[in-house]
Structure 1
Amino acid sequence: MVQVFRQAGERVGFAELFFDLVFVFAITQISHTLLHHYDLAGALQTGFLFLAIWWVWIYSTWVFNLLDPEQPRVRGLLFTLMGLGLFMSMAIPTAFHERGWIFAAAYAGSQVLRSLFMWHHAEGRLRNTYARILTWLTAAAVFWLLGGLMHDGARVALWGIALGIEYLGPMTGMYVPGLGRDRSSDWTVRGGHIAERCGLFVIICLGETLLVSGATFAGMAWDAPGLMSFLGALAGTVGMWWVYFHWGHRRGSHQIEHSADPGALARLAFTYLHIPIVAGIVLAAVGSERAIAHPLDLGSPAEGAALIGGLVLFLIGNGLFKRVSAANFPLSHLVGLGLSVLAFLAGPWLPLWALNGVAALILAVVAVWENWSLTRNLSV
């Protein structure tokens, strides 16, 4: 059988970084779609699409954790998935309208093709694992494709079933009658690679915040309120980077690299618990762009839902992620969440440039508090 699996090493390859460019586009499409449909329906639809985009990316990460991207067949798979990902990303703005069938076909095709490739090339327990995964994703694909051909409520219902199947699968061990279920100890993963890939996805989302903020401010008159909003967005992005990378990612990477059961840790900490982290960054980016575009508007509950809601999601996700490698949910993050609630309540009396600055200040408080606390404990 042709060799397609990694022999040694955990470093992320250039082909994988090239693959991620598609998801830079996907995240941009999601944030812009929410910006142009900034209401409850738009939030629910883009939230759903975000969960789908994250899931197709994280499944790819698990697969390329085992495959060698230097091998021609693997590169062929990776570039094919890139093409499908581009069609999926291009269809995002109208995925619940005329291009739903394109989104569904590209999404389902990616999930099934990748799993079929792994099943074909794997042996032993890994082959059984991907037989289970292929069964679950094929079942979901039926609902994706049927939903793509339907309209309105029928599409939403069918796609909801499809995504539910995919998210529940790992929780059940991908149980299939006759094949049984997987155990986390069967999942041979390179922990350092998984951690690095998730960190790079966070960088993608933070980069989207910078790009959107810069592009919005560049097209405006550079007055004081707009400048303050832009600086708040910049400070908030730096704060998110610091809160995630300075302690949390480094500690999480060390833990998964030395874990006796890296598969279970990868599933919990890097597959599920990264969802609110990444979603919070994207939502906060939308709030920052609205603050830059309309700095003197007041921070109504609708505006606060993005600016402060994104911050809340980000802090909850980081706190849970760090809780996996620590004894407690970080006190600094609990304080940050309390301050976020107060900021949201005060929002209707604050202009958006000020509310954006308050969000950045809360992140600074969390980062400084956490660094002081952990540094003090290490020195004791």
Structure 2
Amino acid sequence: MTNFLEPPRLRVGEDIEEERRTTWLELFYDLVFVVAVSQLAHNLKEDISLSGLFGFVVLFIPIWWSWIGTTLYANRFDSDDVVHRLLIGLQMLTAAAMAINIHHGLAESSAGFALSYALGRAVLVIEYIRAGIHIPSARLLTTQYATGFAIAAFFWLISAAVPIPWRFGFWTLGIIIDFVTPLIGSKFQIGLLPHASHLPERFGLFTLIVLGEAIIAVVNGMSQQKWDVLTVIAAVFGLLIAFSWWWVYFDNLGGTPIEMARTHGRISVVNLWLYTHLPLVIGIAAAGVSVEQILLSKPTIALPDSQRWLICGSVALCSLSVSILHRYGVLRYCKIRSQYRLVSAGVLLAIAIFGQGLLPVAIISLVALVSAAQVVQDLYQSRPTTRLVDPEI
């Protein structure tokens, strides 16, 4: 901390090529979202049905968007002064309040959840106004963001006073405005693109948070179950699923979207990178829940339909998301890898459709093998001889 009241400074633009790492404050901030994701997973464990999955997604979106809002602001304007630290502290409090209200977030705690989210967005609006005051070159962008996020926060705020189910209509309006605001402000982003080394690292860290749920799932499942050969094998395959998608994601991660936007003016690629991460992290988090449920199920009885669809559908969603990221050069640009991810999503859905009657260990082993096949394909494709043949790989 260099100055007691150091004003926000532009962290992108002229210094875009400088290497920049995640700060200790950002890592500390992430801890609240570890808890929030865990609470979301707990909700889904209690109700693995279409309605339970819908509720999981509805509550996941504002949690993820809260993290995204603070992350994108810090990427452009972070300054380690006292005011910024205090504002981040307030955002941590609002995120913690959201986590507390998640358990009954679509019922009696929904008003508390809405108020917590609205207050968190209000703090973000204050940060953007502060940045606009001190950085004239960014004022068009900060004004656009502050206005859009303030309107969205207003809808969330008044929703707390509206009875269910109308309350959720205001949530929908608020989240739509939240999501559309960066898209409307795209023309102001060209000269203020995110930092090419910092943002991929931040996205990677949130991906690790949700991947951690898969590890927790294996530990919880094994600690509550009497060990036998089938359960141990299922646990190993559960870890293999998490390890495979960690490999696939982080081996292809980079700042390519930001570089493309800077050199070709393709800001749409950055937005695609941002929004496609939502189904990806939802899929990973749901996959962790499904692994735990499989480990807790009767190993000699066919896996229930809801659990089979959850693990196959969630991992298929991950595969489809990564396929899109490959296809448009958001992750490493490669048509072949994109096609393999798409095929794997289809195979996983086929397992869900035709796997009725299979034991839990059979389902999780098939999903793990499909996931591991993506790693094997990447390794095969990365051979020096292959790279000489096809420069797009």
Q: Which residue of 2 aligns with 1:142?
A: 154
The alignment partner of 1:93 has SS state of coil
Which deviates the most, 8-17 or 237-246? 8-17
Distance (whole Å) between structure 1 residues aligned to residue 166 and residue 310 of structure 2: 28
Taking structure 1 as reference, are residues 5 and 262 closer, same or farther at Cα in structure 2, changes over 3 Å only? farther
Q: Which residue of 1 aligns with 2:171?
A: 159
Q: Is the 8 A contact 1:281 1:311 kept in 2?
A: yes
Which deviates the most, 138-147 or 307-316? 138-147
Taking structure 1 as reference, are residues 348 and 361 closer, same or farther at Cα in structure 2, changes over 3 Å only? same
Q: What one-letter code is carried by the residue in structure 2 that aligns with 1:154? A: W
Q: Which residue of 1 aligns with 2:270?
A: 266
Q: Which residue of 2 aligns with 1:333?
A: 341
Distance (whole Å) between structure 1 residues aligned to residue 64 and residue 317 of structure 2: 16
Which deviates the most, 58-67 or 126-135? 126-135
Q: Which residue of 1 aligns with 2:282?
A: 279
Residue deviations 1:32-56 (CA, integer Å, cap 9, x gap): 1011122222211110111111111
Query: CA offset at residue 151 of structure 1?
Result: 3.3
Q: Which residue of 2 aligns with 1:184?
A: 189
Q: Is the 8 A contact 1:299 1:351 kept in 2?
A: yes
Q: Which residue of 1 aligns with 2:115?
A: 105
Extract unaligned runs of 5+ from structure 1: 174-180
Q: Is the 8 A contact 2:131 2:142 kept in 1?
A: no
Q: What one-letter code is carried by the residue in structure 1 that aligns with 2:105? A: A
Distance (whole Å) between structure 2 residues aligned to residue 299 and residue 152 of structure 1: 35
The alignment partner of 2:170 has SS state of helix
Does residue 327 of structure 2 align to residue 323 of structure 1? yes
Q: Is the 8 A contact 1:97 1:151 kept in 2?
A: no
Which deviates the most, 19-28 or 125-134? 125-134
Distance (whole Å) between structure 1 residues aligned to residue 10 and residue 23 of structure 2: 11
Q: Which of residues 302, 311, 315 is equivalent to 2:315? A: 311
Distance (whole Å) between structure 2 residues aligned to residue 275 and residue 126 of structure 1: 27
Q: Is the 8 A contact 1:192 1:257 kept in 2?
A: no
Residue deviations 1:132-172 (CA, integer Å, cap 9, x gap): 21221221122212222333321222211211221222223
Query: CA offset at residue 370 of structure 1?
Result: 2.6
Q: Which of residues 344, 347, 360 is equivalent to 1:352? A: 360
Does residue 56 of structure 2 align to residue 22 of structure 1? no
Q: What one-letter code is carried by the residue in structure 1 that aligns with 2:348? A: S
Q: Is the 8 A contact 1:65 1:194 kept in 2?
A: yes
Q: What one-letter code is carried by the residue in structure 2 that aligns with 1:243? A: V
Which deviates the most, 163-172 or 206-215? 163-172
Q: Which residue of 1 aligns with 2:143?
A: 131
Q: Is the 8 A contact 1:56 1:111 kept in 2?
A: yes
Distance (whole Å) between structure 2 residues aligned to residue 193 and residue 107 of structure 1: 25
Query: CA offset at residue 301 of structure 1?
Result: 3.5
Q: Which residue of 2 aligns with 1:37?
A: 47
Does residue 87 of structure 2 align to residue 77 of structure 1? yes
Query: CA offset at residue 327 of structure 1?
Result: 5.2
Q: Which residue of 2 aligns with 1:288?
A: 291
Q: What one-letter code is carried by the residue in structure 2 that aligns with 1:110? A: G
Does residue 218 of structure 2 align to residue 213 of structure 1? yes
Q: Which residue of 2 aligns with 1:196?
A: 201
- Percent of paired sites with the same residue: 25
Aligned length: 369
Q: Is the 8 A contact 1:280 1:314 kept in 2?
A: yes
Q: What one-letter code is carried by the residue in structure 2 that aligns with 1:219? A: Q
Taking structure 1 as reference, are residues 13 and 52 closer, same or farther at Cα in structure 2, changes over 3 Å only? same
Q: What one-letter code is carried by the residue in structure 2 that aligns with 1:256? A: I
Q: How does 1:215-234 map to 2 (within 5 A)?
A: 215-234=220-239
Q: Is the 8 A contact 1:315 1:333 kept in 2?
A: yes
Query: CA offset at residue 209 of structure 1?
Result: 1.2
Distance (whole Å) between structure 2 residues aligned to residue 69 and residue 303 of structure 1: 46
Does residue 245 of structure 2 align to residue 243 of structure 1? no
Q: What one-letter code is carried by the residue in structure 2 that aligns with 1:192? A: S
Distance (whole Å) between structure 2 residues aligned to residue 215 and residue 262 of structure 1: 44
Distance (whole Å) between structure 1 residues aligned to residue 213 and residue 285 of structure 2: 8
Q: Is the 8 A contact 2:303 2:357 kept in 1?
A: yes
Query: CA offset at residue 257 of structure 1?
Result: 4.7
Taking structure 1 as reference, are residues 109 and 31 closer, same or farther at Cα in structure 2, changes over 3 Å only? same
Does residue 258 of structure 2 align to residue 256 of structure 1? yes
The alignment partner of 2:356 has SS state of helix
Query: CA offset at residue 6 of structure 1?
Result: 5.7
Does residue 386 of structure 2 align to residue 377 of structure 1? yes
The alignment partner of 2:76 has SS state of coil
Q: Which residue of 2 aligns with 1:367?
A: 375
Q: Is the 8 A contact 1:336 1:362 kept in 2?
A: yes
Taking structure 1 as reference, are residues 30 and 69 closer, same or farther at Cα in structure 2, changes over 3 Å only? farther
Q: CA RMSD in A?
A: 2.1
Distance (whole Å) between structure 2 residues aligned to residue 275 and residue 121 of structure 1: 27
Q: What one-letter code is carried by the residue in structure 2 that aligns with 1:194? A: L
Q: What one-letter code is carried by the residue in structure 2 that aligns with 1:54? A: W
Taking structure 1 as reference, are residues 155 and 298 closer, same or farther at Cα in structure 2, changes over 3 Å only? farther
